[in-house]
A and B are shown apart, each in its own frame.
Chain A
Amino acid sequence: MSQYLFYILSLLTAFSAMMVVFSRKPVYSVLYMIFCFFTIAGHYILLNAQFLAAVHVIVYSGAIMVLFLYVIMMLNLNKESEPHKSNIAKTAAVVSGGLLLMVLVSVFKSADGLAINPAFDSQIGMVEVLGMVLYEKYLLPFEVSALLFLTAMIGATMLGKKEGGAQS
């Protein structure tokens, strides 16, 4: 059962990721990206990380992608479909990406010998277990990420100001 679910989810993930890259209009790209994030959240649930799936949907689909959609609609960027790069750039991208892909796939083929295939434990990915570890073992990175958010907020405000940032 979970096997079929995994393969269907994988096909959907790959398809929507390709549509993100290949669709001409940015709004369609963003919508396919949201779909792609939902399928990735499905992968997380299959991989025993339920809380992470919820966080992923909330943060990525709910916050980041809505921000993207908002910017595209505010700047009215959907009217022109930009010309893609030359065929040389595309060929270079396919060749370099494909070579590295071959190397990685041949490495990952041998990863099955390492796996110990644990049983599905429904409690590992839940919020109680995660919260205990987060506030004991990972307290310092947690605080540092709060500082990071503060810095990002100040930076975004500075850049978005009319007279600040680059002189026009």
Chain B
Amino acid sequence: MSEIPLSHILFVSTALFFIGMYGMFTRRNMITMLMSIELMLNSVNINFIAFNKYLFPGNLDGLFFTIFIITIAAAEAAVAIAIIINLYRNHKSIDVEEADALKH
């Protein structure tokens, strides 16, 4: 088992991170932007697990970092969904370009 080189796993997570970054830059729908953030968090999680397995196989610190990141992502999603619902209630859309009340 485990003949997979460490760098290939890191390439996958890097690709995932930059797909998420591209989505964050180009989409205007707030829910899709939130999902891009989730993609970036998941790429970080893969990195933590890969480094934990390949560099410190006896320790579990990477796993616990990942568990706490998942915890924080769940709390963040709940609050962000509440903000999105509030935005929709005020603007009748969740396009971030329309939420410009602080701009003018």
A interface with B by C-beta (< 8 Å): 2-3, 6, 10, 13-14, 17-18, 20-21, 26, 29-30, 33, 36-37, 40, 43-44, 46-49, 52, 55-56, 59-60, 63-64, 67-68, 71-72, 75, 77, 82-85, 89-90, 92-94, 96-98, 100-101, 104-105, 108-109, 111-112, 114-121, 124-125, 129-130, 133-134, 138, 141, 145, 148-149, 151-153, 155-157, 159-160, 165-166, 168
B interface with A by C-beta (< 8 Å): 1-12, 14-16, 18-23, 25-29, 31-32, 34-36, 38-39, 42, 45-46, 49-50, 52-55, 57, 60, 63-64, 66-68, 70-79, 81-86, 88-90, 94-95
Contact status A37-B42, CB under 8 Å: yes
Q: How far is the CA of A125 from the CA of B67 in the complex (A)?
A: 12
Contact status B57-A20, CB under 8 Å: no
A-B Cβ contacts below 8 A, count: 230
Chain B neighbourhood of A160, CB < 8 A = 82, 85-86
Chain A neighbourhood of B6, CB < 8 A = 111-112, 114-115
Contact status B39-A111, CB under 8 Å: no
Partner pick for B78 among A36, A83, A89, A152, CB 8 A cutoff: A152
Q: How far is the CA of A130 from the CA of B62 in the complex (A)?
A: 11
Q: Give 9 pairs: A residue, B residue, CB < 8 Å, sorted on A.
A: A2-B2, A14-B16, A17-B39, A21-B22, A52-B49, A121-B57, A141-B64, A145-B71, A159-B83
